[in-house]
């Protein structure tokens, strides 16, 4: 999970302030990150209960981003406030003991009072994994997306480069997106093939709702030959979601990295998920320093 190993030490005191967690989860049986009034299963609800049990008081978690139903995370970050003090091993092992098996915390640590899991993040990175075979996956069902139509990964990669830079991503934005602006800075996007698997690796300062899945859906249309490589630029400039093709399934989408300034002390990710990591070099799994940083302002507190 981490670029450099993190030992679960006991000779430290973590707590009495803002504590940060790094964790992973298998999204197949969750209705996304966010806790919902209906009581359906969510990552936030399960993790909040476990953290509160170890902290011995109610907590409120703030995550780096809200993943949708079925979306996975090999590296996610959240923070909470606590008056309790535990060592690193006690926080990590204690929380994991109280968690279901499809969530695992890997690190806990104190950060400064001005750290915010969402607003301090300078970028997010996702990988979308497609199993490209005539026969659907069995064991990896829900862990990868699938299309039986042959994909040309080189053509997909070529087309995707039109998305790099700062753009209005309205064409790739879900109708229900609550973001104030569709403008985002896409740092990089790569499409590669290893055997029967095609991976879309994309990093941006932030993403609008369903942006990665909508990009994946459009690139799949290019990869199958249904659309030309130039179509991606055309729909980007057209800013019309209805002309941009289908939304790819949540299966196969992973949040693999969230970046923060070094002064916050958050351990850097080695981008996953684990089963695809060997397909890439260490450099390709290493965080990419952003060239465009736009940090959102934290909401003003009313006294």
- pLDDT means per 10 residues in the chain (303 residues)? 93 96 97 88 97 98 95 98 97 98 98 95 98 97 97 98 97 86 96 98 95 97 97 95 92 97 96 97 94 58 41
Same domain, 137 and 214: yes
Same domain, 80 and 135: no
Domains in the chain, number? 2
End-to-end Cα spacing for the chain: 40
Residue 83 falls inside a structural domain: yes
Q: What CATH number corresponds to the domain at position 193?
A: 3.30.70.660
* pLDDT confidence of residue 303: 36
Same domain, 106 and 160: no
What the block records as the tokens of 129 is 């994994």
* pLDDT confidence of residue 160: 98
Same domain, 18 and 94: yes
DSSP secondary structure of 52-90 = HHHHTS----EES----TT-EEEEEEEEEEEEEEE-HHH
What the block records as the tokens of 4 is 């450099």
Residues 6+ away with beta carbon under 8 Å from 57: 82, 83, 84
Q: How many CB atoms lie within 10 A of CB 143?
A: 18
List the one residue out of 77, 66, 59, 64 whose CA is nearest residue 36.
Answer: 66
Q: What CATH number corresponds to the domain at position 28?
A: 3.30.70.580
Residue 188 falls inside a structural domain: yes
Q: Which of 238, 253, 268 is the last residue of a domain?
A: 253
Same domain, 147 and 244: yes
Same domain, 164 and 228: yes
Same domain, 216 and 237: yes
Same domain, 114 and 20: yes
Catalytic residue status for 68: yes
15: left (phi over 0), alpha (psi -120 to 50) or beta: left
Q: Annotated binding residue at 25? A: no
Strand duo 253-259 + 72-86: pairing: parallel
Same domain, 109 and 140: no
CA-angle at 72, arms to 59 and 55, nearest 5°: 20
Q: Which residue has the tokens 């996007």?
A: 189
Residue 146 falls inside a structural domain: yes
Residue 4 falls inside a structural domain: no
What is the distance between the alpha carbons of residues 138 and 77, in angstroms, rounded to a whole number?
30
* pLDDT confidence of residue 293: 65
Residues in the chain: 303
Same domain, 211 and 147: yes
Q: Is 49 exposed, middle or buried (0-12, 13-18, 19+ CB in 10 A)?
A: middle
Catalytic entry in 11, 16, 68, 114: 68
Structural domain containing residue 191:
123-253
Q: Which residue has the tokens 């104190």?
A: 110
* pLDDT confidence of residue 294: 58
Taking each helix axis from N to C end, the angle separating 88-97 and 43-55, rounded to the nearest 10 degrees, works out to: 130
Taking each helix axis from N to C end, the angle separating 211-223 and 153-160, rounded to the nearest 10 degrees, works out to: 130
What is the distance between the alpha carbons of residues 136 and 146, in angstroms, rounded to a whole number?
7
Same domain, 71 and 173: no
List the one residue out of 161, 173, 142, 145 whose CA is nearest residue 238.
Answer: 173
């Amino acid at each position: 999970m981490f670029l450099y190993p993190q030992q679960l030490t006991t000779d430290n005191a973590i707590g009495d302030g803002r504590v940060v967690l790094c964790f992973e989860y298998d999204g197949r049986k969750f209705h996304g990150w966010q806790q919902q009034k209906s009581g359906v299963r969510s990552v936030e609800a399960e993790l909040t209960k476990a953290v509160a049990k170890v902290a011995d008081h109610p907590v409120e978690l703030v995550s780096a981003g809200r993943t949708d139903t079925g979306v996975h995370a090999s590296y996610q970050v959240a923070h909470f406030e606590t008056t309790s003090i535990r060592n690193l091993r006690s926080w990590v092992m204690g929380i994991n003991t109280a968690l279901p098996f499809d969530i695992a915390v890997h690190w806990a640590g104190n950060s400064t009072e001005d750290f915010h899991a969402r607003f301090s993040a300078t970028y997010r990175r996702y990988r979308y994994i497609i199993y490209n075979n005539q026969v659907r996956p069995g064991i990896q069902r829900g862990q990868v997306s699938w299309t039986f139509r042959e994909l040309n990964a080189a053509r997909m990669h070529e087309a995707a480069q039109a998305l790099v830079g700062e753009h209005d991503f309205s064409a790739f934005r879900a109708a229900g997106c609550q973001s104030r602006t569709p403008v985002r800075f896409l740092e990089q996007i790569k499409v590669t093939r290893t055997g029967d698997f095609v991976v879309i690796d994309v990093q941006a300062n932030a993403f609008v709702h369903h942006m990665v899945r909508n990009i994946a859906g459009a690139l799949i249309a290019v990869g199958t030959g249904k659309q030309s490589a130039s179509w991606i630029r055309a729909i980007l400039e057209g800013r019309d979601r209805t002309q941009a093709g289908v939304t790819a399934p949540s299966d196969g989408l992973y949040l693999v990295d969230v970046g923060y300034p070094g002064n916050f002390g958050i351990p850097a990710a080695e981008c996953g998920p684990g089963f695809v990591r060997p397909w890439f070099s260490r450099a390709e799994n290493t965080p990419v320093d952003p060239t465009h940083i736009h940090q959102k302002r934290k909401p003003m507190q009313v006294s």
